[in-house]
């Protein structure tokens, strides 16, 4: 393990960091927000967590659409934040720039890839922050750092000016310390639609089975709180759906989809630049380039089955409960097998929302001896407001 991984640092980028004043009017006036360093800010080079990429690219000429919306709503941008390289990670450690501190867990990782964004919000250095979530990069850091976080429905928040990783899975989400602000940001970034209330609450028993025992125990009170607010909970096992009767199959679909799209996005540049990358990162892109057309076609067909199943299950009146992350935050500099177990468990069930293009929130409603854990709530596509309203209701 490189010593840099053990070095805890501020979540803010140290290179060319700038502040941008908001419009001075609007629902977010007076609030400060941070921006993950794969999201464009005019006049600043988007660094993608990799110094060779940073040195090889020019500053952005305009703000990403989401950044501009927040500025127009009165918020002030207070800085760019560290990301794992090209947003392809789950732990939060950056080989080149260090590991953003997790203020809720002494010595613990913040989670990735939106590690810096979660860190600066949890430490109170920003009121909220933008992150991206392809396979868990908002949901897991939110859980590890005791924050509210949302991965929106695919397509509901603009990705214009945001570096792609796997375009059919990528979303732009945000972190806050309180539920009301999470909801308010939704009124700015979402093309808002009518907020429906959930009529059915489902709990994915097989997803909870994959979480650590202390996570399951810590979330029992959160689940009871949901039941008090919304009524009886139906226990389900999505992994037993007809045709894809194992989360291992879901995980394989996720790996092929994300890996092949990530390779298409960045592998040519990585090879041409012979980029310096942290341990394992180049290998992930290379592995994605090895999938065959047959592999990809098979994954697309199975993904369509997952998407159809989840659409029929949730419709417009249900939500599904899962652990936002399968464990509390591990300690920084841990052996790679510790991180591999976390990645593996996360991909088994937290691939559900990305594969089906669904919104999911992480609600900071659990606490273990090792640190905070979040309750994940998934809704049908487009029902982001349902989740934001639930966050406010469960926080009161």
User: Which residue ranges make up each domain of the chain?
Assistant: 3-189, 200-249+299-395
Express each pLDDT in 357-366 by its tens digit.
999 999 999 9
The C-alpha R_g of the chain, in whole angstroms, comes to 19
pLDDT of residue 328: 98
3-189 and 200-249+299-395, same CATH topology: yes
Whether 119 is catalytic is no
Distant-in-sequence, close-in-space partners of 184: CB < 8 Å, separation ≥ 6? 27, 28
Express each pLDDT in 300-351 by its tens digit.
999 999 999 999 999 999 999 999 999 999 999 999 999 999 999 999 999 9
Partnered with residue 100 across adjacent β-strands are 9
3-state percent breakdown (helix, strand, coil) of the chain, nearest 5 = 40, 20, 40
Asked whether the whole model's pTM tops 0.95, one would answer yes
Say which residue the tokens 């037993």 belong to: 240
Question: Given 113, 114, 153, 327, which residue is catalytic?
Answer: 113
Burial class (CB in 10 A: 0-12, 13-18, 19+), 123: middle
Whether 137 is catalytic is yes
8 Å CB contact between 76 and 126 = no
Split at pLDDT 50, 70, 90, the class of 6 is low
Residue 303 per-residue DSSP state: H
Whether 80 is catalytic is no
Question: Given 10, 36, 153, 239, which residue is catalytic?
Answer: 36
Say which residue the tokens 């897991």 belong to: 140
pLDDT of residue 192: 73
Q: In whole angstroms, what is the distance from residue 160 CA to residue 204 CA? A: 34
Question: Given 10, 114, 115, 137, which residue is catalytic?
Answer: 137
Homologous superfamily of 200-249+299-395 in CATH? Amidase signature (AS) domain (3.90.1300.10)
Split at pLDDT 50, 70, 90, the class of 396 is confident
Split at pLDDT 50, 70, 90, the class of 193 is confident
pLDDT of residue 5: 56
Q: In whole angstroms, what is the distance from residue 259 CA to residue 193 CA? A: 33
The CATH classification of domain 3-189, taken from the options 3.30.420.240, 3.90.1300.10, 3.40.50.300, 3.40.50.1820: 3.90.1300.10
8 Å CB contact between 357 and 165 = no
């Amino acid at each position: 393990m490189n010593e840099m991984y053990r070095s805890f640092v501020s979540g803010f980028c140290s290179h060319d960091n700038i502040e941008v004043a908001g419009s001075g009017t609007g629902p977010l006036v007076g609030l400060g927000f941070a921006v993950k360093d794969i999201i464009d800010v005019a006049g600043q080079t988007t660094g993608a967590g990799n110094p060779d990429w940073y040195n090889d690219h020019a500053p952005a000429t305009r703000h990403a659409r989401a950044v501009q919306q927040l500025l127009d709503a009165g918020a002030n941008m207070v800085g760019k934040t560290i990301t794992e390289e090209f947003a392809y990670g789950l732990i939060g450690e950056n080989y080149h720039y260090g590991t953003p501190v997790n203020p809720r867990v002494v010595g613990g990782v913040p989670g990735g890839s939106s590690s810096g964004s979660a860190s600066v919000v949890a430490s109170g250095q920003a009121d909220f922050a933008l992150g991206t979530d392809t396979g868990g990069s908002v949901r897991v850091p939110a859980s590890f750092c005791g924050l509210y976080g949302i991965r929106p429905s695919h397509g509901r928040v603009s990705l214009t000016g945001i570096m792609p990783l796997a375009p059919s899975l990528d979303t732009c989400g945000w972190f806050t310390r309180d539920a009301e602000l999470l909801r308010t940001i939704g009124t700015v970034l979402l093309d808002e639609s009518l907020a429906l209330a959930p009529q059915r609450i489902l709990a994915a028993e097989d997803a909870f089975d994959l979480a650590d025992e202390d996570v399951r125990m810590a979330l029992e009170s959160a689940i009871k709180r949901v039941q008090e607010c919304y009524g009886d909970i139906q226990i389900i096992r999505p992994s037993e759906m007809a045709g894809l009767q194992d989360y291992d199959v879901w995980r394989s679909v996720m790996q092929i989809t994300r890996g092949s799209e990530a390779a298409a996005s960045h592998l040519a540049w990585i090879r041409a630049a012979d980029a310096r990358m942290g341990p394992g990162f180049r290998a992930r892109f290379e592995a994605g380039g090895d999938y065959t057309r047959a592999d990809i076609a098979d994954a697309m067909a199975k993904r369509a089955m997952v998407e159809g199943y989840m659409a029929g299950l949730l419709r417009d009146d249900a939500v599904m409960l899962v652990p936002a992350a399968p464990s509390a935050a591990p300690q920084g500099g841990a052996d790679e097998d510790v991180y591999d177990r976390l990645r593996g468990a996360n991909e088994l069930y937290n691939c559900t929302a990305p594969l089906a293009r669904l919104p999911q929130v992480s609600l900071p409603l659990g606490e273990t001896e090792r640190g905070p854990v979040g309750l994940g709530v998934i809704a049908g596509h487009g029902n982001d407001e349902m989740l934001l309203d639930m966050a406010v209701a469960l926080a009161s």
